[in-house]
């Protein structure tokens, strides 16, 4: 019986590792499916899901990643009929709400990227919620990707 349980534990370890790559948690916050598309330029938008399972509003105040000179919180809109992204000072995440940062909505914009991002690459980003720092792994998808591939994992 112990051998069977040990074998089952070994078989589940890769699945747990795969889950861990796409999920970060701290203080009632869960961040899932962080992704960006491969780049040829010096900017990229990171998209992800933030779940606030806590009883208080959380405030996303910033982010950092080694591959970029800076990270900005941006929101999408229209001005005079043209698409525009506007820099936001912070992003409130109400209690018990799931917020999607997705194309043509909200994003974390990586600015001054040193080298082009390549599909299959992973970035270590840190999200800032006031004093709380939440490390998140960002998956780089193919050039021109408009959504995150959920192949190989389930939440």
Q: From CA 60, how far away is CA 57, in angstroms rounded?
A: 10
Query: Is 1 within the bounds of a domain?
Result: no
Per-residue model confidence (pLDDT) at position 21: 54
> Which residue in 58, 51, 59, 63 sits closest to 137, CA to CA?
63
The size of the chain, in residues, is 155
Q: Is residue 3 part of a domain?
A: no
Pairing state between β 68-79 and 91-93: unpaired
The whole-number pLDDT of residue 23 equals 84
Q: What is the pLDDT of residue 119?
A: 97
Whether 35 contacts 138, CB under 8 Å = yes
H helix or E strand, kind and range, residue 60: strand 58-60
**Cα separations (Å) of 15 from 1, 9, 21, 85?**
22, 10, 10, 37
Residue 80's domain is classified under what CATH number? 2.60.40.1890
**13 located within any domain:** no
* 27 in a structural domain: yes
Contact between 101 and 108 (Cβ < 8 Å):
yes
Residues of the chain with pLDDT under 70: 1-21, 147-155
Distance of CA 63 to the CA centre of its chain: 10
Domain that holds residue 32: 23-141
Looking at the domain assignment, is residue 59 inside a domain?
A: yes
Would residue 31 count as lying in a domain?
A: yes
Reduced to 3 states (helix: H, G, I; strand: E, B; else coil), residue 46 is strand
pLDDT at 149: 56
Domain assignment present for residue 4? The answer is no
- Cα distance between the two ends of the chain: 29
Instruction: Tell whether 109 is covered by a domain.
Output: yes
Look at the chain and report how many structural domains it folds into. 1
> Which pLDDT tens digit goes with each residue over 20-30?
457 888 889 99
* pLDDT recorded at residue 144: 77
CB 35 within 8 A of CB 48: yes
pTM for the full predicted model: 0.81
């Amino acid at each position: 019986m112990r051998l069977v349980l040990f074998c089952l534990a070994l078989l589940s370890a890769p699945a747990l590792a795969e889950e861990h790559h796409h999920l970060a948690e701290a203080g009632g916050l869960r961040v899932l499916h962080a992704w960006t598309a491969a780049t040829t330029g010096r900017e990229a938008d990171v998209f992800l899901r933030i779940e606030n399972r806590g009883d208080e509003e959380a405030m996303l105040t910033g982010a950092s990643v080694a591959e970029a000179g800076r990270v900005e919180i941006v929101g999408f809109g229209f001005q005079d009929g043209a698409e525009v992204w506007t820099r936001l000072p912070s992003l409130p995440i109400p209690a018990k709400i799931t917020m999607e940062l997705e194309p043509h909505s909200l994003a974390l914009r990586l600015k001054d990227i040193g080298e082009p991002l390549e599909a299959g690459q992973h970035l270590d980003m840190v999200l800032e919620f006031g004093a709380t720092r939440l490390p998140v792994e960002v998956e780089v998808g193919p050039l021109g990707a408009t959504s995150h591939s959920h192949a190989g994992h389930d939440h």
